[in-house]
Chains A and B, each alone.
Chain A
Amino acid sequence: MSVLDLTAIRQDFPILHQQVNDHPLVYLDNAASSQKPNLVIDAVADYYRKDNSNVHRGVHRLSQRATDSYEGARDKVRRFVNAQSDKEIIFVRGATEAVNLIAQSFVRPQIKAGDEILISHMEHHANIVPWQMLCEQTGATLNVIPMTMAGELDLSTLDELLTSKTKIMAIGHVSNALGTINPIKDMIAQAHAKNIPVLVDGAQAVPHMVVDVQDLDCDFYVFSGHKMFAPTGIGAMYGKLALLEDMPPWQGGGDMILSVSFAHTQYNELPYKFEAGTPNIAGAIGLGAAIDYMNTLGIANIAAHENALLVTATEKISVLPGVRVIGTASHKASVLSFMIEGVHPHDVGTIFDQQGLAIRTGHHCAQPVMQFFGIPATARASFAFYNTFDEIDALVGGIKKVQELFA
């Protein structure tokens, strides 16, 4: 039994009610991208039907309505992560853009050859490559917190890795490939003890758990909308006000200025300083609607149901002969990565698809994790609150079908 009314919830997601290859769709690829409830789809459509116009510049009624909705969404995001001020919430394309923004606007001006950036072995490529690029640009060194066979961070070396040269620690809240929930609050405290700022990549955390940036005391927290039931192409970056105020703009253009002359341009105040050009207004409104939807269900209820799904799925899959779960951390969210002996994950994906089962197969944009476990790829089922226990049985049935075919 679930604390959530799954029948009613699933009615809110039109895409779930379709046949794929003559089977009802079982969507277990939520860590890649989640589905959108009618509330979000309607919010985006209503904006285009009724309010579409540019923000922050028109005196006419439509522009005022668009601005109100856009800024209203910002306030919803602020409350969602419990930031102090709307000025600390910057709309971005997604977590990837936010990491790049922080690398170039916050870290680059203060880093030099020989300095260090600290990430972990289980980061998504989005939290690796921008730092490698920055290292190439500046001669800085990228250091990596190691990982254990269970897929947990090995924090025994963290103290040594946080040095007087470390300019930032950038760390994932939840691993997209393994599901591991990292103990970021403790890690942040440890970094702050040495005055090292911390960026948290929360892309895989926000769909599943309550996030409180003040409680975590992180300096930056970034996430994408599309993994939390909002449209693609929108995300948010939280940054502490004092840090954001000192940072130079990342991109130049309209909306991020107060005045422009050929002699001098005065930049706009926060948060607009970081939002050059017409933003993704519809996306932001959709993100606000997704937050409304999650709040209606209750994020604690979402977490409880998803945890029950993950525990049940892990139990049922672990007992199958020839199946190995990759990522067995004691604290996990949503993600179940696995290998079927003698079968490449890509073949698993195709056979699953023939049964209407949508999962991700591949390296999950986390190739260092695959290299660590000595595997080319995994099959990954990832859950959202609209998934059911019947769908876990379908997953188990899918694995058995693969084994039959490859027997």
Chain B
Amino acid sequence: MSNADLRDLYQEVIMDHNKKPRNFREMTDANHFAHGNNPLCGDALVVFLKLNDNVIEDVSFQGSGCAISVASASLMTETLKGKTLAEAEVLYEMVHKQMTGDEVDQSAMGKLAVLSGVKEFPARVKCATLSWHTLHAAMDTDHEISATTE
């Protein structure tokens, strides 16, 4: 093994967000939310959004999952607060590109750059993208829908 490789995946920041997920709460005044499931591993979460004129005033999540999916969701909520929907859409695209191995400007990714190690573990890409798919579903609708990662 390579402990080094594993440390690329399980970086300190990721371990920290897994242990102490940020914005891990139900949002009672959310105006958008969606459920996300990964039926392969049983990860399940809900993403809550409070939008005000296309600005993400608040974002939170709840659920259970592996370290990668929990940390990814936690990092996502930290990154998105105060962003516009258009900015969120750009980040969503960048996260996707990062996971599929495309070149991404790491400086534009901010904290999300710690997820770059995931692309070396193809079986875990869905874990990292679950929260982002669920966010996308929440942005698109104010109804409860299920975002199953493909």
Residues of B within 8 A of A346 (CB): 41, 43, 65-66, 68, 124, 127
Q: Does B108 contact A (CB under 8 A)?
A: no
- Residue pair B121, A21 in contact (C-beta under 8 Å): no
9-residue interface stretch from B5-13, B28-36, B91-99, B137-145: B5-13
- Residue pair A354, B41 in contact (C-beta under 8 Å): no
Interface 0/1 of B16-36, CB less than 8 Å to A: 000000000000000000000
- Residue pair B1, A362 in contact (C-beta under 8 Å): no
Interface centre among B15, B42, B44 (most CB of A within 10 A): B42
How far apart are the CA atoms of A342 and B93 in the complex, in Å? 31
Q: Does A376 contact B (CB under 8 A)?
A: yes
How far apart are the CA atoms of A354 and B8 in the complex, in Å? 12
How far apart are the CA atoms of A22 and B4 in the complex, in Å? 13
- Residue pair A343, B42 in contact (C-beta under 8 Å): no
Q: Does B107 contact A (CB under 8 A)?
A: no
Interface centre among A21, A343, A347, A367 (most CB of B within 10 A): A347
- Residue pair B1, A377 in contact (C-beta under 8 Å): no
Q: Does B64 contact A (CB under 8 A)?
A: yes
How far apart are the CA atoms of A343 and B68 in the complex, in Å? 11
Interface 0/1 of B59-74, CB less than 8 Å to A: 0000011111010000
- Residue pair A347, B1 in contact (C-beta under 8 Å): no
Main DSSP-derived SS at the B contact region: mixed
How far apart are the CA atoms of A367 and B39 in the complex, in Å? 10
Q: Does B86 contact A (CB under 8 A)?
A: no
Interface 0/1 of A10-48, CB less than 8 Å to B: 000000000001110000000000000000000000000
- Residue pair A347, B68 in contact (C-beta under 8 Å): yes
When C-beta atoms are compared, the residue in chain B nearest to A405 turns out to be B10
How far apart are the CA atoms of A377 and B64 in the complex, in Å? 11
Residues of B within 8 A of A361 (CB): 41
Interface residues of A in 221-239 (CB under 8 A from B): none
- Residue pair B66, A22 in contact (C-beta under 8 Å): no
How far apart are the CA atoms of A343 and B121 in the complex, in Å? 18
How far apart are the CA atoms of A295 and B40 in the complex, in Å? 36
How far apart are the CA atoms of A23 and B9 in the complex, in Å? 19
Query: Which interface class (under 10, 10 to 19, 20 to 34, 35 or more) fits B?
Result: 20 to 34
- Residue pair B2, A344 in contact (C-beta under 8 Å): no
Interface centre among A21, A344, A361 (most CB of B within 10 A): A344
A337 to chain B, nearest CB (A): 14
Q: Does A81 contact B (CB under 8 A)?
A: no
How far apart are the CA atoms of A43 and B121 in the complex, in Å? 36
When C-beta atoms are compared, the residue in chain A nearest to B124 turns out to be A350
- Residue pair A351, B66 in contact (C-beta under 8 Å): no
Residues of A within 8 A of B64 (CB): 344, 376
B148 to chain A, nearest CB (A): 15
- Residue pair A344, B65 in contact (C-beta under 8 Å): yes
How far apart are the CA atoms of A370 and B40 in the complex, in Å? 13
- Residue pair A370, B42 in contact (C-beta under 8 Å): yes
Contact among A21, A350, A351, A363 for B42, CB-based, below 8 A: A363
How far apart are the CA atoms of A376 and B39 in the complex, in Å? 10
Contact among B44, B65, B121 for A350, CB-based, below 8 A: B121
Q: Does A355 contact B (CB under 8 A)?
A: yes
- Residue pair B9, A355 in contact (C-beta under 8 Å): no
- Residue pair B42, A354 in contact (C-beta under 8 Å): no
A407 to chain B, nearest CB (A): 9
Q: Does A406 contact B (CB under 8 A)?
A: yes
How far apart are the CA atoms of A377 and B41 in the complex, in Å? 7
Please list the residues of chain B having a beta carbon within 8 angstroms of any beta carbon in chain A: 1-2, 5-6, 9-10, 15, 40-44, 64-68, 70, 121, 123-124, 127
Q: Return the 6 tightest CB-CB contacts between A and B, nearest first.
A: A376-B42, A344-B66, A346-B66, A354-B1, A377-B42, A346-B41
A-B contact pairs, 30 of them (CB 8 A): A22-B2, A343-B67, A344-B41, A344-B65, A344-B66, A344-B67, A344-B70, A345-B41, A345-B66, A346-B41, A346-B43, A346-B68, A346-B127, A347-B67, A351-B6, A354-B2, A354-B5, A354-B6, A355-B1, A361-B41, A362-B40, A362-B41, A363-B42, A376-B42, A376-B64, A376-B65, A377-B42, A405-B6, A406-B10, A406-B67
Given contacts A346-B65, A347-B10, A354-B6, 16 further A-B contacts (CB under 8 A): A343-B67, A344-B65, A345-B66, A346-B43, A346-B124, A347-B67, A347-B68, A350-B121, A350-B124, A355-B1, A362-B40, A376-B41, A376-B64, A406-B10, A406-B15, A406-B67
Please list the residues of chain A having a beta carbon within 8 angstroms of any beta carbon in chain B: 21-23, 343-347, 350-351, 354-355, 361-363, 367, 370, 376-377, 405-406
